[in-house]
Amino acid sequence: MRVKGGIVTRRRHKKIINLVKGQYGSRGRLFRRSNEAMLKSLWYAYRDRRTRRRDLRRLWIIRINAAARQNGLSYSRLMHALKQAQIELDRKVLAHIAVHDPTGFSAIVEAARGRAA
C-alpha cells in the first residue's frame, strides 16, 4: 500500500505561500510562482544586507568629510591625523558626532592635529 503525502505537501506549500503573502497577483497565491518569488526575495535580502553596509559607510564618509572641511581639513588628512594620534573612533561614531555634536567633533579634530604634529 502506498503512502500519500497530501498533508505534508500542503503544509510545505502553505509555509512558502505565507512567506510571500502580499505579493502581487499569482506570486502570492500559486505555489510555483510563490516559490520563485520567495527564492528571489531571499536572494535580494541577502545581497542588499551587504549593499546597505556599503551605502552606510559611504554616507558616514561623506558626513565626516563635510564636517572635517568645516574644520579646515580634508577627510583623508583627518583620518591620517586620527591614526597618528591613536584616536580609535570608527566612521560610524565619527559621523554621529559630526552631525549631532559639531563642537565635540571640532575638539576631536584639534586633538588629532595636536598629537599628530
| Under 8 Å between Cβ of 66 and 98 | yes
Q: Predicted confidence band at 116 (pLDDT cuts at 50, 70, 90)?
A: low
**What are the grid coordinates assigned to 111, written together?**
586633538
Q: What is the mean pLDDT of residues 28-56?
A: 95
- In this prediction, residue 82 carries a pLDDT of 93
| Under 8 Å between Cβ of 77 and 113 | no
| Residue 62 to residue 71: CA distance in whole angstroms | 14
Q: Predicted confidence band at 115 (pLDDT cuts at 50, 70, 90)?
A: confident
Q: What is the mean pLDDT of residues 91-98?
A: 96
- In this prediction, residue 5 carries a pLDDT of 79
**CATH number 3.40.50.410 is the correct assignment for the domain at 6-116:** no
Q: Predicted confidence band at 64 (pLDDT cuts at 50, 70, 90)?
A: very high
Mean pLDDT of the chain: 92
**What are the grid coordinates assigned to 87, written together?**
584616536
pLDDT tens for 13-41 read: 999 999 999 989 999 899 999 999 999 99
- In this prediction, residue 117 carries a pLDDT of 59
| Residue 31 to residue 40: CA distance in whole angstroms | 14
Three-state DSSP class for residue 71: coil
pTM: 0.75
